[in-house]
Amino acid sequence: MAKREWWPRAGGFFMEVEGDRRVVLCGCRGICAYTEECVSLRTPFGVVSVYGQGLEMGCMTVEGATVTGRVQRIEFGEEM
């Protein structure tokens, strides 16, 4: 699977995308929305929303969150 990393350690946050099946976000501050089609997480830079099909949060810890499923797009926005 292709791996890609954004914002390495910027403000304690980074995101790694593994193909279209897994997104790891470290440095999250909470959950804004959680459905099978959208998982939105609060970060130091605003809200990161992962859209797709059959999305699940594998785990959410102080260190970060893991979203799995069929990822179709990722959007960055302001606080909800």
CA distance 36 to 22: 14
pLDDT the model gives residue 11: 66
- Cβ atoms of 17 and 71 within 8 Å: the answer is yes
Give the CA-trace dihedral at 22, 5, 42, 63, to 10 degrees: 80
53 sits in which H/E element: strand 46-60
pLDDT the model gives residue 68: 96
Total-model pTM = 0.83
Residue by residue, pLDDT tens for the chain (80 residues) are: 555 555 455 567 788 899 899 999 988 888 999 999 999 999 888 899 999 999 999 888 877 899 999 999 999 988 65
Number of domains in the chain: 1
- Domain of residue 65 covers 3-77
CATH code for the domain in which residue 46 is found: 2.60.40.2000
pLDDT the model gives residue 21: 93
